[in-house]
Structure 1
């Protein structure tokens, strides 16, 4: 007997993705990815409950992937930090007090259609030392609420994510109607760009698993998912925001440098050349930096 919150896999997909049960309606169940931003429907008889031992094995594998992404980002962060220290010293590598500068990182607004993923992402932002405002909004309501929220929070980076999926039965990959939530991401980005048209004034990431990458980019996003219509991991959008946040406003971001530390990689994420948003100042002031 299935209950809400149960962990399951699908027989018809060879148990490839771990889901949690969100809604049960008669003989059909709405599923949400446990680690990826995928939403799906399935008949009850196609589902298999995941025992605790199998869940622990899957969790161990995911934890290793997340730890690897975090380690790679920290390596990149150290390189960016060394570059900032040289710049703050006027280019003299022998500067005695390399920390004699402060940095102002951009504000991030992370809007998520999954409250559990949102909590996990906010924890990672804090771990990376970034200031973030997290807001849970269902994907269908994002176009209606996003502009007012951005005007209230005044962020420099906006993340619009949640769950999505492509259905072959609804049409080709080119048709926006073939996707569960892509149209809401597109509408949200388009609404924001009507008020914030400059791509370096407001940096936008939008999309989730299998989202219609091309439409989201054309609507005005700097970064989006999913070029190859693959699943993206829950925390991948955080690394996109972090790379922008820790790159100097004087530098352009190489797209590969953005996606290489994500779990999904270039098949899951892509985007446009974008300026960083970090600014440094001198002399060091803890109060200013805070």
Structure 2
């Protein structure tokens, strides 16, 4: 076994593919390839992934493809709706321009951050992304929010229920790896902007304390059933919000249904979109 190798855990039936992030004696630190999961394992419990495609991984890839198709269909439907609103069957006298919501994405994992930024780029969502360790996110937001002035903030990385705590209370933040850090970051964001429609917050990672994140002020959060969430789930929600009109609320059931993890992985509250349409078409780009 070597650092960077793709492996599965034999004791878990090889359900998730990991990359070895580090080797520490007879143990390995593992990072999920598709799921926001950080774990450690004895080397003896690992085997090379090889050409393995665990059922969970296959299902995950199917859901990714489905989610991206739904986002693309939403954008097509939205363009048709704008055509109808502006001119019906008649040609629009002036081509319009679009101002989707701007995203500030803080991620505790640089690999997932790159994947998320690529997705924003694919859908042409203006976004700034920063790799920030979870304990430092509150401080980073204090500095970045006035500088970036986003419409949507994504606060994500790694989390999980701590297994070494005896008689752990699932309602206690101390039972989670990083939920308390996400809560602190949400508090900082809400000190900057209290209005939940002026600043949409998408927060959490695998097995995060869903209720605590919502109570702190998040619009969308993970994980209601304390399950693993896909690396792209927070970004998918941010994109849907960025392209929902300021005159409308995000369809909660629709946006959650079309995430990779679904209702067990993500939940939220009624939230207004941050997309604006403008006329006539700009000759220079707004900054």
TM over 0.5, yes or no?
Answer: yes
Aligned pair partner of 1:69 in 67, 70, 73: 67
Q: What is the correspondence of 1:1-290 to structure 2 with a 5 Å cutoff?
A: 2-51=1-50, 53-54=51-52, 62-89=60-87, 93-97=88-92, 100-170=95-165, 171-288=168-285
CA distance in 1, matches of 2:193, 2:43: 45
How far the C-alpha of 1:168 sits from its partner, in A, is 4.4
User: 1:80 is paired with a residue of what secondary structure?
Assistant: helix
TM-score (norm 2): 0.92
Q: Structure 1 residues 176, 98: CA separation in 2 closer, same or farther (over 3 Å shift)?
A: farther
The 8 Å contact of residues 36 and 157 in structure 2, kept in 1 or not, is answered as yes
Q: Structure 1 residues 80, 217: CA separation in 2 closer, same or farther (over 3 Å shift)?
A: same
Q: Structure 1 residues 178, 79: CA separation in 2 closer, same or farther (over 3 Å shift)?
A: same
The 8 Å contact of residues 32 and 163 in structure 1, kept in 2 or not, is answered as no
Q: Which blocks of at least 5 consecutive residues in structure 1 are unaligned? A: none
Alpha-carbon displacement from aligned partner over 1:20-65 (angstroms, at most 9, x marks no partner): 12232233322211110011222222222222x2269987765443
How far the C-alpha of 1:167 sits from its partner, in A, is 3.0
CA distance in 1, matches of 2:218, 2:272: 14
The 8 Å contact of residues 225 and 269 in structure 1, kept in 2 or not, is answered as yes
CA distance in 2, matches of 1:27, 1:144: 36
Q: Structure 1 residues 77, 5: CA separation in 2 closer, same or farther (over 3 Å shift)?
A: same
The 8 Å contact of residues 230 and 268 in structure 1, kept in 2 or not, is answered as yes
The 8 Å contact of residues 103 and 289 in structure 1, kept in 2 or not, is answered as no
CA distance in 1, matches of 2:94, 2:267: 34
- Root-mean-square deviation (Å): 2.1
TM-score (norm 1): 0.91
How far the C-alpha of 1:87 sits from its partner, in A, is 2.6
